[in-house]
Amino acid sequence: MDFIAIFSIFVLACFVGYFVVWSVTPALHTPLMSVTNAISSVIIVGALIASAAAGSPLSKWLGLAAVVMASVNIFGGFAVTERMLAMYKKKER
Amino acid sequence: MHDVAPINPWVALAYLVAGVFFILALRGLSSPASSRRGNRFGMAGMGIAVVTTLLTHELANPIEVLGAIGIGAVIGIVMARKIAMTAMPQLVAAFHSLVGLAAVAVAAAAYLNPGAFGIADEAGQIFTVSRIEMGLGIAIGAITFSGSVIAFLKLNGNMSGAPILLPLRHVINLGTLAAILGLIGYFLTDQSPAVFWTITALSFLIGFLLIIPIGGADMPVVVSMLNSYSGWAAAAMGFTLHNTAMIITGALVGSSGAILSYIMCRAMNRSFLSVIAGGFGADASAGAAGAKEQRPWKPGSADDAAFLMSQAENVIIVPGYGMAVAQAQHALREMADLLKKEGVNVKYAIHPVAGRMPGHMNVLLAEANVPYDEVFELEDINGEFAQCDVAFVIGANDVTNPAAKTDKSSPIYGMPVLDVEKAKTVLFVKRSMGGVGYAGVDNDVFYMDQTMMLLGDAKKMADDIVKALNGGGH
């Protein structure tokens, strides 16, 4: 893909983000932060590529370290979000 | 050597699906009812992205990679299970620092082995566009990391929440930023390690310098801002790897953090730049202390409070950071339950910047089993104070200060506040009369005729009111 194609996706995604985030209820702003945190760890994709590649040992170890860090975030971020969201209950009537 | 450049369309499609699932994850948060389904979409999207990557790249050593994921999973899940809800801001700051450091590691790995990422020509020269993306990625990642570490230390109490003001800090900060941008420009012509690592080191430094002058109560903005940075770091890496899932996520997280920062700044009536410049509240408290006059105020006891509230028709509870510090949310909910049993209509009013991160109070109240439909945002409930019998303020101060509406010389002038002074009676739980709020301004509500000051620890006061409502010994 050329730069312009990727850049177009990026710009459009910024607009999607803008509208989606404004529709998030303020009561869920803390879970919003923890879940965005978890999904931004999608950089694990880059970490996996680095750790899988042959050629540079230092690059591989940096990749593995990044895999550990991103995994902490992914599992921790989704788990803590799930834990928080389970607490939001409606009034019992 | 793997080539990323000619992407298999099915692989690209899989990453796009992952990106769409991330959008649906955030979309789910528009209401608590759909939020858990949203979170599952997020997990599914991440699963797709990781599995796709694993299947399309030959793993030199699968055990190492799966082991690394396993180690991270155990640490992450244990942290998520053990963390106290009051410590949520620290946890989020810690998670942000990991995203930042992971981005730095990935950018460094890509720099050291560009061939594996398909971003270099035969001679090992990294493509120009990739150099910009890589330089920005490592700079934003490093700033996110060191900034989040400082935010974590301040939120966790390892470091004082007071702003640390270096002389000439604006000159130093702007100079460092200019140096980073200049070096990224120079990196286009010279990809030598010295340039790359200097960019990295300066970026770590600027992240540290940017956050130390920012005070504790501005942390909601800082945490949101770092959230935004972690997104932009992911987007920059997405450009490097031509990966749509990363780009979509980066854009989502980046805008999410930016919008939250904007909401927090608006709730304090301060510009983003003035928060970033830092130092707020540093000398204001000294000035206020000197000019302080002794004014009469009315003390009250837990018994008085219990009596007043049980006779009331409508009670609005205004929680603040002090409630979180004292861990008073459970006692508070017990108090509200007893009042409801007596037929009192109880609601909660939340100011957007109450606490140390966006939505902090809502999570704590949810933890204490307060139904979310009893909890209202400032603009939805502010009109109701005039009709309410008792406003019960616990651990909040500046967000109730009417000076924000009337006193143009006040540092908090223009900030939207909760109109507690319009209630027939105000019960104000506060540790002592000596301390002023974070902004260092006195609150006229303390001295009003209809205000009763309940001095003491928030949790103990709430417990005592519960005892009194139960008729304990009286």
Q: What is the 3-state secondary structure (H, E, C) of B245-271?
A: HHHHHHHHHHHHHHHHHHHHHHHHCCC
Residue that has been written with the tokens 């055990």 in this structure: B63
Instruction: For residue A32, tell me if it sits in a domain.
Output: yes
Note whether residue A6 is domain-resident.
no
Identify whether the C-beta of residue B134 lies closer than 8 Å to the C-beta of residue B194.
no
Contact B160, B169 (CB under 8 A): no
pLDDT at A84 over 50: yes
- Residues of B with Cβ-Cβ distance to A69 under 8 angstroms: 72, 98-99, 101-102, 105
The whole-number pLDDT of residue B285 equals 39
Residues of A in contact with B381 (CB under 8 A): none
List, in sequence order, every residue forming a beta bridge with B454; answer none if it has no partner.
B429
**Residues of B whose CB is below 8 A from A67:** 65, 68-69, 72
Distance CA B336, CA B284 (A): 36
Extract the tokens encoding B327: 């861990």
- CA proximity to B20, closest of B251, B245, B239: B245
Q: Taking CB atoms and an 8 Å limit, are A42 and B18 in contact across chains?
A: yes
Distance from CA of A41 to the nearest CA of B (A): 6
Amino acid B280: pLDDT: 57
Angstrom CA distances, B182 to A9, B51, B171, stand at 28, 39, 16
What is the count of structural domains for chain A? 1
Name the 3-class secondary structure at B309.
helix
CB contact under 8 A, A74 and B2: no
- 3 state DSSP class of B125: coil
Measure the CA–CA gap between B429 and B311, rounded to whole angstroms. Answer: 19
A28/chain B closest Cα distance in angstroms: 6
Q: Which residue has the tokens 């050597």?
A: B1
Question: Is A58 a member of any domain?
Answer: yes
Are the beta carbons of B364 and B290 closer than 8 angstroms?
no
Q: Are B132 and B181 in contact (CB under 8 A)?
A: no
Asked if A38 contacts A81 with a C-beta cutoff of 8 angstroms, the reply is yes
Other Cβ atoms closer than 10 A to B58: 9
Is pTM beyond 0.90 here? no
- Would you state the pLDDT for residue B289? 41
Give the residue numbers of B annotated as catalytic, written as ranges. Answer: 398
B183: its two tokens: 């070096």
Cβ-based contacts of B233 with chain A (< 8 Å):
40, 43
What's the confidence (pLDDT) of residue B287?
Answer: 38
- Judged by CB atoms closer than 8 Å, whether chains meet at B39 and A81 is answered as yes
By residue range, what is the domain housing residue A59?
27-87
| Residues of chain B above pLDDT 90, percent | 60
Quote the CA–CA distance of B153 and B151 in Å, as a whole number. Answer: 6
Is residue B307 within 8 Å of B344, Cβ to Cβ?
no
Across the interface, whether the CB atoms of A42 and B352 are under 8 A apart is answered no
Largest Cα–Cα separation, chain A: 64
* pLDDT of amino acid B436: 58
Sign of CA pseudo-dihedral B163, B164, B165, B170: negative
Residue A42 resides in a domain:
yes
**Rounded Cα gap, residues A90 and B374, in angstroms:** 9
| Distance in Å, alpha carbon of B452 to nearest chain A alpha carbon | 29
Q: Please state the ipTM of this predicted complex.
A: 0.94
pLDDT given at position B175: 92
Q: How many angstroms separate the first and last alpha carbons of chain B?
A: 81
Q: Is residue A7 part of a domain?
A: no
The answer as to whether A69 is a domain residue is: yes
Give the model's pLDDT for residue B286. 37
What pLDDT score does A1 carry?
64
Q: Is residue A70 part of a domain?
A: yes
Query: Please, which residues bridge with residue B455 across strands?
Result: B430
Is B109 in contact with A77 (Cβ distance < 8 A)? Answer: no
In a domain, A17, yes or no: no
Joined together, the tokens standing for residue B357 give: 């991160």
Residues in chain B, pLDDT under 70: 1-7, 60, 278-293, 434-440, 472-474
Task: For chain A, give the mean pLDDT.
Answer: 91
Q: Which residue of B has its CA nearest to A76?
A: B76
